Amino acid sequence: MKLLVQDDAIEVPRRPRGRPKLDDVAQIDTLLLDVALREFLAEGYGGTSLTRIVKIAGISKTTLYTRYPSKADLFAAICRRQIERFSAVTALRSPKGRLDLASGLEAYGNRTLEISLEGDLLHVNRLIYSESGRFPELGQAAAERTQLGIEDVSIFIRTCADAEGVPCRDPQAVAEAFIFMLRGWYVDVLLTNRHVSARDRQRWVANAVRTLLAGRAEW
């Protein structure tokens, strides 16, 4: 699957000869992932050439393969970087104090859906859903990202259970249910390619959280 992306030139800095310094290594990694992301979105996963990536980035194949032995490893690194940049876990924390369970889940749900419906994260998700049937490694990358979300929400649920005096026998299972509720809605929006207003998204998240909490006594 090819996606239309903005055709902005990626500036390739000149590097001095010799062994790269730590700053140079970080710069190489950033450049490499920037170039790779652009190629994946423009050419699709199957159509992306590692040879072309190293040519555009101005690095050797050895430099690439030392960091990322395969195309799957390179794509997974892009997903990890997106997690670091756009993680919704910060929505579970408030500078004003601890969030209650409902408020925290609503904040997390709205944040994760908001960032997943815009920019490169949206394009990468479209790529994963369109090509994961032919390339199972894409599904694996998505599963790892999902698992991190489940772990974050599970910790929050356990913390709220202790603070609010409402026992939860299996926070992991509840977190899975919540994350997959969010994913189901997101995939429907993704596949139908429809625009959803912030107000409609917030209303849906509030209803989803309310439905989940209705069974809290059985958690």
For 69-101, the pLDDT digits (tens) are 999 999 999 998 988 888 788 888 877 778 899
Q: How far, in Å, CA of 151 to CA of 171, rounded? A: 9
What pTM value is reported for the model? 0.81
| Per-residue pLDDT at 44 exceeds 60 | yes
| Per-residue pLDDT at 22 exceeds 50 | no
Cβ contacts of 37-43, under 8 Å, gap ≥ 24: 37/78, 37/120, 37/124, 38/5, 38/10, 40/75, 40/78, 40/124, 40/127, 41/3, 41/5, 41/120, 41/123, 41/124, 41/127, 42/2, 42/3, 42/5, 43/2
| Per-residue pLDDT at 10 exceeds 50 | yes
Q: How far, in Å, CA of 116 to CA of 5, rounded? A: 17
Q: How far, in Å, CA of 85 to CA of 79, rounded? A: 10
Which pLDDT score is estimated for 113? 95
Q: Per mean pLDDT, which range of 17-21, 53-57, 103-107, 135-139 is the poorest?
A: 17-21
Rg (CA), the chain: 20
| Per-residue pLDDT at 11 exceeds 70 | no
Which pLDDT score is estimated for 21? 54
23 pLDDT tier (thresholds 50, 70, 90): low
Which pLDDT score is estimated for 199? 96
Average pLDDT over residues 7-20: 49
182 pLDDT tier (thresholds 50, 70, 90): very high
- Cβ(9)–Cβ(50) below 8 Å: no
Average pLDDT over residues 136-143: 90
- What size, in residues, is the chain? 219
Each residue of 140-171: pLDDT tens digit? 888 988 999 999 999 999 999 999 999 999 99
| Per-residue pLDDT at 14 exceeds 80 | no
Please report where in the chains the tokens 């992932």 appear, as a residue. Answer: 33
Q: Which one has a higher pLDDT value, 96 or 203?
A: 203
Which pLDDT score is estimated for 85? 83
Residue of 5, 81, 72, 8 whose CA lies nearest to 45: 72
Q: Please, what is the average pLDDT of the chain?
A: 88
Which pLDDT score is estimated for 152? 94
Return the ∠ at Cα 213 (arms to 93 and 89), rounded to 5°.
Answer: 25
Q: Per mean pLDDT, which range of 13-27, 50-64, 121-135 is the poorest?
A: 13-27
Which pLDDT score is estimated for 93? 82
